[in-house]
A and B are shown apart, each in its own frame.
Chain A
Amino acid sequence: MTVLATQQEAADLGATGAARSGSIGRYVAGRCLGALGSLAFMLVVSFFLFRVLPGDPARTLGRGRFSTPEQLEEFNRTYGLDQALPQQFVTFLKNTLTGDFGISLRYRVPVSDLLLDRMWPTLLLVGSSTVFAILIGVWLGIRGAWKRGGAFDNISTGTSLTLYAMPEWWLGLLLIAVFAVGLGPIPGWFPTGGLHSVDVDPSSVAGVFDTIRHLTLPVVTLTLAYLADYSLIMRSSLLDEIGEDYLTTARAKGLRDSQVRDRHAVRNALLPTTTLVALNIGFVVSGAITVETVFSIPGLGLLATEALSVPDYWVLQGTFLVASAGVIIANLVANLLYGLLDPRVRT
């Protein structure tokens, strides 16, 4: 609730700030330009990264199927591998910018179709667990820090550290063993994996609930695994604010303790938290890969793991591009949010 209130404040702040001065425009433009630069760099890296990977695509994929040099040559021509490296780079840039990521070696369909298809389960999984982890984590951090050393703080910090130390795949397997397979009196109500049951139409109302039931354990896994990051960050940011003089001013004005906390302390403690949340998004993406594999969710993470075993170069390159672009965009959003929250960076 406190988070919602401060988000509202931030929105108000942004609306008036944008109407008033051009400095916010400069800030936004600067950040967007930075993000574009990162995207360009990422394109270059991804091209060369997949060119230095060991193994020749033709040889790996052929597995002896190319009995003649003509067949090998045709394979290389189909995938543009017979061209010189600079020429390949230009083709790569042109194709990527027009949304052509190549053809999957395994599925024999355009990689872009595969990516679009597999994106929604991942967005649903990562999106909902990030939102839950931030809301619960920030709430825990605020409550713990405000009554530092109290029973709540000790229990929540201890729990956070324990969860922080757990690998997410291990936590996922544990949850499957207890809540999907069933343990003693606990019924194994949740499915062990997948996104839909075979016998339910995914577009019906029952299908929506079926999907929620399938996503519950993976979302809980990712939420628990990343909750600790947010609760510990928020706790330490708020502890840094607690000794500040403006809180004494707020108390002297006659505000209630909860008003001092929510209107003044939390509002300022959210600033460092925003930055660290942005930095954390990359780790959430890597967590999604393992959790999708553990729960067999047909998302980008599972697609990447499957592609690795072939190896399906163009699919790997596509998932790499989408994941990096996702992290860069999430960082941009966090940076823009920071600009709204802190008037000092705008001037």
Chain B
Amino acid sequence: MSGLLEFEDVSVTYRTSGGDVPAVRGVSLSVAAGEVVGIAGESGCGKSTLAATILRLQPPSAKVTGRVLFEGEDVQTMRWGDLRALRWAGASMVFQGALHSLNPVQRVGAQIAEPIRLHEESLSDSAVARRVGELLEQVGLPAARARAYPHQLSGGQRQRVMIAMALACGPRLIVADEPTTALDVMVQAQVLGVLRDLVREFDVGLVMISHDLSVLADLCDRIAVMYAGRVVEQGPAGKVFTDPLHPYAAALAASFPHIGDMAARYAPSGLPGDPPDPADLPTGCSFHPRCPKRFGACETTDPQLRSDSAGRAAACLLVEGR
């Protein structure tokens, strides 16, 4: 199957003065056209680094191996001219902190118009301005807000501007890197609603990155859970959230209580300890020092991701034995 986006055994290593730091270790994942895929995990698990490779936005100090295929072409090795043409027109991004991701001294309208002018040079100024107005209205902002500067908008408005900007060139894929993390819960729900409706309306593929498994479960078709640079569980969104196979996915799911569920309220949740230092990973399964279900073999055997017949996969010795 040739999807919209395919990671084939992708590894990303940061070269630092203190040695090589593996941030992503052999991730394979695919996104079909129009599909919504979530990537979940704690900070530092490599999910943002992985997302950056989709448009080859990783810093120069990062070494990428494996292949990142967008519509069958390897993004990491294509010519710069082809890559620039692909950026934003093929795949666009919604970044985490909209305050910092927007240029503070440019009107938001000009910033939305910039990729349109770049990728559709034949459009007249008035057509571009009309397009910007339409985009703003699609995300629920009045067209007149195009004249505002980023500091004149609220956090939720800025994030909607980011979404309008991401839609500007009609991309086939949108990569949303923690699009709602900096927002309060009410605004978060609004922004997610806007994103979900637009993705459905335009049939755009979406890669949604979040540490919040409940948000992903609500929005995504499939979810991949990452830990220490690897995918440790993958499957249909509802299943991963309600019936996780991997102990880490279970802990992540349990850290967001269901309202009204008394059992969950009193059950111990959360995970002791910190995510491992990528430069100094534990032996065997990299999750074993924090795993509540570990046994002897976990310290020596590194479990591989195995798929079952129902389209689910997990990298855990307990699952392998099942």
Chain A residues within 8 Å of B, Cβ to Cβ: 20, 244-246, 248-256, 263-264, 267-268, 271, 341-344, 347
Contact = CB atoms under 8 A, between A and B. Distances in A.
A344 B104 contact: yes
A272 to B, nearest CB: 12
Given A248-B57, A248-B95, A344-B149, A253 B118 contact: yes
Q: Which 8 A-B pairs have the closest CB atoms?
A: A254-B87, A245-B100, A253-B115, A254-B84, A245-B101, A343-B149, A246-B103, A253-B88
A268 B88 contact: no
Nearest to B96: A245
Given A341-B105, A343-B149, A344-B105, 12 more contacts: A245-B95, A251-B57, A251-B87, A252-B57, A253-B115, A253-B118, A254-B89, A256-B84, A264-B103, A264-B106, A343-B151, A344-B104
A317 B322 CA distance: 95
Contacts of B106: 264, 267
Interface string B94-123: 010100111111100000001100110000
B121 to A, nearest CB: 12
Nearest to A265: B103
Interface in B149-169: 149, 151-152
A206 B72 CA distance: 70
A248 B101 contact: yes
Contacts, number: 71
B92 interface: yes
Nearest to B54: A252
A252 B100 contact: no
B93 interface: yes
Contacts of B152: 347
Given A249-B95, A344-B149, A347-B151, A254 B103 contact: no
Interface residues of B, number: 27
B105 A342 contact: yes
B254 interface: no
A251 B118 CA distance: 12
Given A249-B95, A344-B151, A347-B152, A254 B105 contact: no
Contact of B100 (A244, A254, A264, A267): A244
A89 B88 CA distance: 68
Contact of A252 (B92, B105, B149): B92
Interface in B14-43: none
B55 interface: yes
Given A249-B95, A344-B104, A254 B88 contact: yes
A112 B271 CA distance: 81
B16 to A, nearest CB: 16
Contacts of B264: none
Contacts of A341: 105
Which residue among A264, A342, A343 has the maximum number of chain B CB atoms within 10 Å of its CB?
Answer: A343
Contact of A254 (B97, B115, B149, B151): B115
Interface string B204-229: 00000000000000000000000000
Contact of B104 (A248, A254, A256, A268): A268
Interface string B54-98: 010100000000000000000000000000111111001101010
Which residue among A248, A254, A341 has the maximum number of chain B CB atoms within 10 Å of its CB?
Answer: A254
B104 to A, nearest CB: 7
Nearest to A244: B100
16 contacts: A246-B102, A246-B104, A250-B103, A250-B114, A251-B87, A252-B92, A253-B87, A253-B92, A254-B89, A255-B114, A264-B103, A267-B103, A268-B103, A344-B104, A344-B105, A344-B149
A36 B124 CA distance: 47
A252 B88 CA distance: 6
